[in-house]
Amino acid sequence: MICEVHVTEPSVDQVRIGVMGGTFDPIHNGHLLAAEEARCNFNLREVIFVPSGHPPHKDVRRISSPEDRFRMVSLAVGGNRFFRVSRIEMDSPGPHHTVDTIGNLIKQYGPRVSFYFITGIDSVLQIMSWKSPLRLAEVCRLVAVSRPGYNLDRIRDLPEEVRASVRVLEIPLMAISSTDIRNRVREGRSVRYLVPDPVHRYLLERGLYRC
Ligand code: ATP
């Protein structure tokens, strides 16, 4: 039996705000393009970047300090008046789950705001392993942006209750990942133009990812 789920779009007088969560180790141009495309396509008033405090799925000993990651995100978003950065996860004890972070933002911003959680298709396809995926799909829209190597059609594999919340967004594909940037720096290769210039300068000055 096909179960129809009706999701009401936010009314016109509701403010839409994007949230881009990530480890951002480091933030790169793929993140920024995804956020900007989502902002324009979904008429978002702003996009809040939320560097993770303690991501439950990553080995915390192997990632750069929250302060370094926060600084790099701040430098990266500085040139866009619609972009903000939040310490909401960094300043509270972890582990942090997206559903709780969005819940806290809802408390902070009030009921007139609809949140759009912007995430790569790779992450959306993992969503059933996150905390309370059905609840997350209820409290915000999930914007699944295209990423090289992932087929957007795989959204069909998600349960209907989650799928109903997903808005697929095709963006110009950028084959960039933070892992690749860290590897390049370690190998002494250039990462210029893969990350914004101020981030490039910062990671070189701080000697990040050298070993
Ligand atoms: P890592 O390589 O360390 O796993 P990452 O490049 O995937 O990092 P994250 O900080 O983990 O970056 O990602 C934050 C969000 O940005 C995720 O939802 C991810 O899918 C998305 N994202 C990352 N890189 C891209 C890209 N090149 N294009 C579109 N979305 C991306």
- For the chain, domains (ranges, CATH) are 15-175 (3.40.50.620)
pLDDT number for residue 2: 38
Ligand 1 pocket, 51 CB below 6 A?
no
For residue 43 the two structure tokens come to 């008429």
Ligand 1 pocket, 37 CB below 6 A?
no
| Nearest residue (CA) to ligand 1, atom 18 | 119
- Closest listed residue to residue 211, CA positions, set 76, 64, 1: 64
pLDDT number for residue 95: 86
Tell me if 23 sits within 8 A of 52, measured CB to CB.
Answer: yes
Phi first, then psi: what are they for 7, rounded to 5°? Answer: -110, 125
pLDDT number for residue 126: 96
pLDDT number for residue 94: 82
Q: How far is the CA of 27 from the centre of ligand 1 (A)?
A: 8
Q: What is the largest CA-CA distance in the chain?
A: 59
Q: How far is the CA of 21 from the centre of ligand 1 (A)?
A: 9
Taking residue 128's Cβ as centre, other Cβ atoms within 10 Å add up to 12
- Is this prediction's ipTM beyond 0.85? yes
pLDDT number for residue 62: 78
pLDDT number for residue 58: 61
Round to whole Å and give the CA distance between 53 and 22: 9
Q: How far is the CA of 108 from the centre of ligand 1 (A)?
A: 26
pLDDT number for residue 8: 53
Tell me if 133 sits within 8 A of 127, measured CB to CB.
Answer: yes
pLDDT number for residue 18: 98
pLDDT number for residue 54: 66
Ligand 1 pocket, 64 CB below 6 A?
no
- Closest listed residue to residue 67, CA positions, set 78, 75, 59: 75
Residue type, 2: I
CA torsion through residues 42, 45, 49, 53, sign: negative
Using the structure block, give the residue that is written with the tokens 């300068």.
201
Give the pLDDT means over successive 10-residue stretches in the chain (211 positions): 46 87 97 98 98 71 89 97 96 91 96 96 96 98 96 95 97 96 97 98 97 83
- Closest listed residue to residue 172, CA positions, set 25, 44, 28, 29: 29
Q: What ranges make up the beta strands (E) of 80-165?
A: 83-85, 113-120, 141-145
